[in-house]
Structure 1
Amino acid sequence: MLKVKDLTIEPLFRQVNFCVPRGEIVTLMGPSGSGKSTLFSWMVGALSADFQAHGELWIDDRRCDGLPVEQRGLGILFQDALLFDHFSVGQNLMLALPPQIAGRFRRETVEQALYSAGLANHYASDPATLSGGERARVSLLRALLAEPQALLLDEPFSRLDKALRASFREWVFEAVRARPVPVVLVTHDDEDIPPGGEMIELSRWQ
């Protein structure tokens, strides 16, 4: 379970509290400037010095808010699919694999992930040749292959056209729920809320 406890980030909001069970998606909503992305920056350990934060971040029984970025075990998917264009699609995904996956199993793991995303023939592809939807799928695969303890989705559908958003959104929800990790989704679009998922208005703490 991921838990944010008694979080205050001045001057954005006070006493934010929520819990996300493993395998569930909780959606945080609010208008531009309400602090959605700033909250994510605090969670991953990259909060700007312009803000003062007080609160606790827990994943299961481990308190994480005092840990360095690389020790928190959080994966994050941004609005833009940030891929290394000088690497192939497969090489981009290989970078995310934890070290315990070694030898030929690294390539096999990446190939299987691409197959699951409908990208079976794209291991050697140049990221620049991918469509927006394909880049978005590769970006999510990279976040998942790192085996995060929790996953943060920062408006991952906002750059896609309406038709593609619907299909990619459904694929994302299926992909993240297939893994037992808590997921926090930030959006300003009601259609992004997964069916049956919990929605929290960030403005209630302002």
Structure 2
Amino acid sequence: MAGVVLYRRGLHHSREPGNAEISGKDSQRLITALQHLVGGRISYRDILNLQTAVAFAAIAHQTHIAHAPSPSDVRRQLQAMAKLKDAELSVALNRCDTRTFEIFNRSLNLANVDWIPDDCAGEMPGPQSRRWAVNHALVGLKAKQKRGRKQQQYQLELALVCISLWRSHKDRSLTKFARTVFDAAGMRHFEQKRLEQILTRAMKLSH
């Protein structure tokens, strides 16, 4: 498919604030799983940190499945951005979906950024850096993609929280604990193999 230039429709839904609630049943399951993991009493801070992490992951997951643009949409938007004037490019970057903006930011991190003053942020990347990042992101999209399902950042971050709590209790099952946590964050449909792949990737990042 040709893809859609989503930023022309205004601010993309994925850039708007989200909200998520953990049900009482899921909250109790989290507490029970955490008690089983540590083998006894748990601190209020650990409970709060875990519930907060689950809530943020749930928001990110809802946004991802409801508003994720197709690869063609991302490519089409970047192609359109590459042709915009500086002021128009700033507007497009502010309006585009989170996936396109994340790809742009990854490229921007590789740039030799020319910072310029900004009334709101103090300073911001200059036009040349933004344009370079857009073009670099396009080149990256054209490169051969790796096989397999890519783990999303919010999934890895939630897995890292699980690993952090598990590290001092390695005699317990990390996978079983993570299963309860990911279920509470709305990812019950994840197959066991997929969950294990996320944990394996997160474990490598945690070293």
TM-score range, shorter chain: under 0.3
- Higher relative contact order, structure no. (Cα contacts within 8 Å, ≥ 6 residues apart): 1
Structure number with higher helix proportion: 2
Larger C-alpha radius of gyration, 1 or 2?
A: 2
TM-score scaled by length of structure 2: 0.26
